[in-house]
Amino acid sequence: MKAKVLAALRKGENYELKTELNSEYRERRKEAVRRVIANMTVGKDVSGLFTDVLKNMQTDDLEIKKLIYLYLINYAKTQPDLVILAVNTFVKDTEDSNPLIRALAIRTMGCLHVPEVLDYLCDPLRTCLKDPNPYVRKTAVMCVAKVFELNAAVAEENGFVDAVRESLSDSNSMVVANVVSALAEMNEMEGGRGIWRLDTSTVGKLLTAVNECTEWGQIAILEALVDYRPQDEKEAENICERLLPRLQHANGSVVLSTVRLLLTYEKYVKRADLLQQFSKKMVPPLVTLLSSEPEIQYVALRNINLILQRQPKLLSKEIRVFFCKYNDPVYVKYEKLDVLVRICSERNVEPLLNELKEYAKEVDVDFVRHAVQAISRLAIKYDSAAERAVKVLTDLISTKVEYVVQESMIVLKDIFRRYPQRFDGVIATLCEYIDIVDKPEAMAALIWIIGEYSEHITNVGNVLSGMFEGFLEQEDESVQLALVNAAVKYFLKSPQQGQALVLKALQTATEKCANPDVRDRAYIYWRLLSADPEAARSVALVDKPPVELENVNLPDSLLQELVKELGCVSSVLQKPARLFVYKRAEKAGLPRHAETVGSEADEETTTSEAAAGGVDTTNEGEPELLISF
């Protein structure tokens, strides 16, 4: 029996791979390495093949070498003693004639995160930092950041940090971009204690390098410039003018990073003509972003939303660009509606209302509701647009589409409160559609309108009496409260006609209604009407304050913070990065849980998109993140 079990085990996949890895045939060993990496990628444990994989390290095949190095990075922490066996091969590879192999070796040694490897890494790293090939140098620069993360003292004692600073003067822009990322990352690890600070000469070097960098390198450099404070107005103007060509870049992230810098440096530029020129230059690239795929459009719209809060008139002439297309995803349509209301002015409110009217005829119920709400916001925002908006809403109500009618009733209540006694002629028309309204919020809004303007409705008594027939069956208290209020208002305005109705309403509410809030409201009205009708009039018929457009702008302090993070995840969430991103919490002394949100320690936590791996498409080692919403 035991022999059968052993035989079965020998037939397992790992045993088969072990045999293939030790084969005398090169192609079989190569295929075995590929299978090992494939198994590792899907989560299978192949750590037992560590020594067998190591035997294949000394090869001229670059593909196999890459796969084996990837395997070592994955299992280095669980097999630190065995990794030391590969050190000699690593060191040898750093002296290879092929720059790709030299860079691959130094990168892999930095990614192992095994303290024992540091002693063997220092000399090759020092050599690679001065390598004649820029690809090796830029990889070595990022390796210094990884050494610094593992042991800052070793990085400083060996002069690696100083060497990275000196590399800012490198002739290759790709190296400069990686230097910026590495220094920013080390600065963050030290809690911003001055590993690197920008000065005028350094900024000049970065602005020169940014013209020749790849898109990821440009993003890294642009992000580094966000925290720089120009010495004077002339320097700020010079920086902004040198950044303007970046607005023409095809990559949306580069464009948004450039816009972020222009908005950040605005406060240092005093010349109105220059500020106006910068604003004009920002418009075309922002509009161009809206012709990208939907996901990019959404990110662009969220960022444009923030930009418009800083410069409300920036895109006022581009309103048609934000009109919704039939094939736009719904999340893009919602953002476009919000932007449309923001950039609309009295000059172009008429075509926008016509456009919104068409949106309100769509089949998507939620989108229709958003469109109707946008119509209401325009009516409240612009007095001159109110009449046209009410006409649009009454036209929509006449379609008798249930969800359109109900949402229109809700928003008309706000318009009537914003412009009291101005649209009395519409009220009688609304009463014709009572039978369609069944949504509690819409019904409560319609009842409020009837009670508030009962003198303009000829058969208001019959209308309210019909509604009271289902009073006790109403599940929502807002409708019951609205009915009680409407009955009292009707009585106060027409005592003879409304006496029977108000008596019935108050008796029903106090004696049969199960909701305590409705009963209390009815008792209060009953006592007021019995003791002092004038006091009841001053309570029920008091002039309501006009409805104002809800403030959808962010607080200034939060807006300034988000503008400095434009183009990042925080600008999409419209929440500062310090509230949901934590990097290397242990080194910063932070407990790794969501309760640290808002603490003084996390004020130093900032986003850094390009620092971890943006400059190089290979895995440079991701920063550790804890996301908490």
At residue 52, the pLDDT reads 84
185 pLDDT more than 90? no
- The domain limits of the chain are 17-128, 430-542
Render pLDDT for 46-105 as a digit per residue (tens, 0 to 9). Answer: 878 888 887 888 888 888 888 888 888 888 877 777 788 888 888 888 888 899 999 999
Residue 523, both tokens: 């008792």
Mean per-residue pLDDT, 584-591: 42
Instruction: Evaluate if residue 602 carries a pLDDT over 50.
Output: no
**Could you report the per-residue pLDDT of 530-539, keeping only the tens digit for each?**
888 888 888 8
Give the whole-angstrom CA distance, residue 605 versus residue 610: 15
pLDDT computed for residue 562 by the predictor: 92
Task: For residue 583, list its beta bridge partners.
Answer: 625
Q: Is residue 53 within 8 Å of 69, Cβ to Cβ?
A: no
pLDDT > 70 fraction of the chain, expressed in percent and rounded = 90
Residue 194 has pLDDT above 80, yes or no: no
Predicted local confidence at residue 468, as pLDDT: 82
H helix runs in 76-171, sequence order:
80-83, 87-93, 99-111, 115-128, 134-150, 152-157, 160-166
Strand partners, 625: 583
CA dihedral 162, 166, 170, 176 (to 10 degrees): 60
Give the residue carrying structure tokens 């410039």: 225
State the average pLDDT over residues 449-461: 86
> pTM for the whole thing?
0.79
Q: What is the pLDDT of residue 11?
A: 55
Nearest Cα neighbor of 107 from 57, 147, 48 is 147
pLDDT in tens, 546-563: 788 777 788 989 999 999
Using the predicted structure, report yes or no on whether residue 42 has a pLDDT greater than 90.
no
Minimum mean pLDDT range among 417-431, 491-505, 615-629? 615-629
Q: In the chain, count of helices (H) and strands (E)?
A: 35, 0
> What integer is the mean pLDDT of 232-257?
92
What average pLDDT score do residues 585-592 get?
41
Residue 433 pLDDT > 80, yes or no? yes
pLDDT tens per residue, range 501-513: 899 889 988 988 8
3-state secondary structure of 55: coil
Is residue 3 scored above 60 in pLDDT? no
User: Average of pLDDT values for 591-616?
Assistant: 34
Lowest pLDDT segment from 197-201, 363-367, 595-599: 595-599
Number of Cβ within 10 Å of residue 42's Cβ equals: 6
Q: Provide the strand spans (E) within 507-580.
A: none
Whether the per-residue pLDDT at 353 is higher than 80: the answer is yes
Taking only the tens place, the pLDDT of each residue in 249-292 is 999 999 999 999 999 998 899 888 998 999 999 999 999 999 99
193 pLDDT tier (thresholds 50, 70, 90): low
CA dihedral 449, 452, 456, 460 (to 10 degrees): 80
What distance in Å separates the CA atoms of residue 572 and residue 19, rounded to the nearest whole number?
A: 52
